[in-house]
Amino acid sequence: MGGLGAPEIILIFVAFASLGSIIIFPIWGYNAGGKRTIGAIPGLLLGFFLNFIGIIIVYCTPKVESKNFYTFPPKSSADELQKFKQLLDSGAITESEYNAQKSRILNS
């Protein structure tokens, strides 16, 4: 009489399934929310309380644009022309490539 019956197996399955949803969905929501505009903590809470539906809500929010920590100053046309002239003088580009870049810079 010492075997596991259907009620015990169902109870074990429910226990593991609920443990998985308590751990997996909040972590998933935290990671996904950190990459989106909703944020990591709301993603964690949605994953914890709403499980898979919360994860779907998190993925429906827009992604965060990549943040540039340093923006390079805009280059002037003269700076670009000087750079291409140096490349021409050093032999890195041909005369036709230089003229194509020069016309592109002057026409923009």
Specify if 68 maps to a domain.
no
Low-confidence ranges of the chain (pLDDT < 50): 1
Specify if 47 maps to a domain.
yes
Query: What is the per-residue pLDDT for 28?
Result: 92
Query: What is the per-residue pLDDT for 22?
Result: 83
Query: What is the per-residue pLDDT for 20?
Result: 67
Q: Tell me which residue range forms the domain holding 22.
A: 6-60
Specify if 1 maps to a domain.
no
Cα-Cα-Cα-Cα dihedral sign, residues 22, 25, 28, 33: negative
Specify if 71 maps to a domain.
no
DSSP state of 99: H
DSSP state of 70: S
Rounded CA gap, 89 and 83, in Å?
10
pLDDT for 18-27, tens place per residue?
776 788 899 9
- 11 shares its domain with 49: yes
Three-state DSSP state, 36? strand
DSSP state of 75: P
Q: Specify the number of domains making up the chain.
A: 2
Query: What is the per-residue pLDDT for 75?
Result: 79
Specify if 69 maps to a domain.
no
The residues, any chain, with a CB within 8 Å of residue 81's CB and separated by 6 or more, are 102, 105
| pTM for this predicted structure | 0.51
